[in-house]
């Protein structure tokens, strides 16, 4: 199983280039103004900027289409806890922003930590939702109301808290027919592979919605690909295992998309190799047409030219 890295590498490299820029006091070289816009999975976008008026201040903003759904369920608290004093009022058209004073950052460790946290900004915010419910399970706190949010236009996440567990349900769908066919086989194999892992959370996959979704009046198939559910028990999130579970579940949709695209790439590679093999067979099967006017020799060494009558 290949897990995608949680951070946005391009965002991290963009920010690192400015945070680690060494200004020589004896030189006229200064930090250049910049404005970079980036896109990520789940329709998330970033804006990194340095204004010409103050080149020691860098702004980093992030926009999430579903942030208003998760803001009060751990997302905002996780963001403020991670970035602390760097948090500022959100920039226009963005949901959250931070301000970094480049001149005040002298220690290399603090620079590296800041770059790492910024690259994980999306992961921190989305992970805050799962952490909110898993922490309640860990502490024996009862959350009475279930919660759902639209991770993507084709994926909805449902969380059903219980005193001893939290059931996470993904309602999945894909736009392309080929993706749907591959995803269906992938999910069936995913559930089968889980049965050999004793310590992992159990999971169930099917077209019919789980019983928990009756709370949202979903009792029949809704025309999507299907539903996969993970009952996360207290034993799965204790002993410092919570962060790993949060990181895995929040990136589950991207993990599926990555493996579907990898499978399609593998199929295309095999098909191209098969076509090349068949072309080689056809080329070997070709019979060269004889030149009817080609001079021939008899057994006695005489030369003659065959002519059609």
The CATH code that applies to domain 9-22+31-125 is 3.30.1460.20
Per-residue pLDDT, 22: 80
Q: What is the Rg, in whole angstroms, of the alpha carbon atoms belonging to the chain?
A: 30
The CATH code that applies to domain 142-263 is 3.30.1460.20
Same CATH fold assignment for domains 9-22+31-125 and 142-263: yes
Higher pLDDT residue, 126 or 164? 126
Q: How confident is the model at residue 302 (pLDDT cuts 50, 70, 90)?
A: confident
233 DSSP assignment = E
Interval 59-71 mean pLDDT:
95
Q: What percent of the chain has pLDDT over 70?
A: 90
Q: How confident is the model at residue 104 (pLDDT cuts 50, 70, 90)?
A: confident
**Count of Cβ atoms closer than 10 Å to residue 308 Cβ:** 5
Per-residue pLDDT, 67: 95
d(CA 19, CA 100): 9
**Is the CB of residue 181 less than 8 Å from the CB of residue 200?**
no
pTM above 0.85, yes or no: no
Higher pLDDT residue, 201 or 304? 201
Per-residue pLDDT, 277: 93
d(CA 236, CA 219): 28
User: Three-state SS for 84?
Assistant: helix
| Buried-exposed string 79-96: b where 16+ CB fall within 10 A, e elsewhere | beebbeebbeeebeebbb
Please determine, for residue 1, whether its predicted confidence score (pLDDT) is greater than 70: no
User: 59 is written with which tokens?
Assistant: 């702004």
Please determine, for residue 292, whether its predicted confidence score (pLDDT) is greater than 60: no
Spatial CB neighbours of 297, under 8 Å, sequence gap ≥ 6: 303, 304
Q: How confident is the model at residue 106 (pLDDT cuts 50, 70, 90)?
A: confident
User: Three-state SS for 51?
Assistant: coil
Q: Where are the domains of the chain?
A: 9-22+31-125, 142-263
Interval 267-277 mean pLDDT:
93
């Amino acid at each position: 199983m290949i897990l995608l890295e949680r951070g946005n590498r391009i965002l991290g490299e963009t920010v690192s280039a400015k945070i680690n820029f060494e200004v020589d006091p004896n030189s006229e070289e200064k930090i250049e103004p910049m404005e970079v816009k980036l896109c990520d999975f789940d329709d998330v976008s970033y804006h990194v900027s340095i204004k010409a008026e103050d080149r020691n201040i860098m702004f980093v903003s992030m926009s999430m289409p579903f942030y208003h759904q998760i803001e009060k369920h751990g997302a905002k608290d996780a963001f403020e806890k991670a970035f602390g004093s760097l948090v500022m009022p959100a920039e226009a058209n963005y949901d959250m922003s931070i301000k970094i004073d480049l001149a005040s950052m002298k220690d290399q460790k603090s620079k590296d930590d800041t770059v790492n946290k910024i690259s994980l900004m999306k992961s921190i915010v989305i992970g805050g939702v799962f952490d909110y419910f898993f922490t309640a399970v860990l502490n024996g706190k009862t959350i009475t109301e279930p919660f759902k949010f639209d991770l993507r236009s084709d994926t909805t996440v449902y969380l059903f808290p219980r005193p001893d567990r939290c059931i996470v349900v993904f309602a999945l769908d894909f736009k392309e027919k080929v993706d749907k066919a591959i995803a269906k086989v992938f999910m069936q194999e995913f559930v089968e592979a889980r049965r050999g892992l004793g310590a992992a959370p159990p999971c169930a996959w099917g077209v019919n919605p789980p019983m928990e979704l009756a709370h949202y009046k979903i009792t029949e198939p809704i025309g999507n690909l299907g539903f996969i559910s993970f009952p996360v028990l207290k034993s799965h999130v204790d002993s410092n295992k919570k962060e790993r579970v949060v990181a895995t579940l929040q990136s589950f949709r991207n993990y599926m998309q990555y493996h579907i695209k990898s499978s399609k790439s593998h199929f295309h590679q095999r098909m191209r190799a098969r076509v090349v093999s068949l072309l080689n067979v056809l080329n070997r099967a070709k019979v060269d047409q004889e030149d009817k006017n080609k001079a021939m020799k008899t057994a006695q060494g005489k030369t003659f030219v065959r002519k059609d009558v």
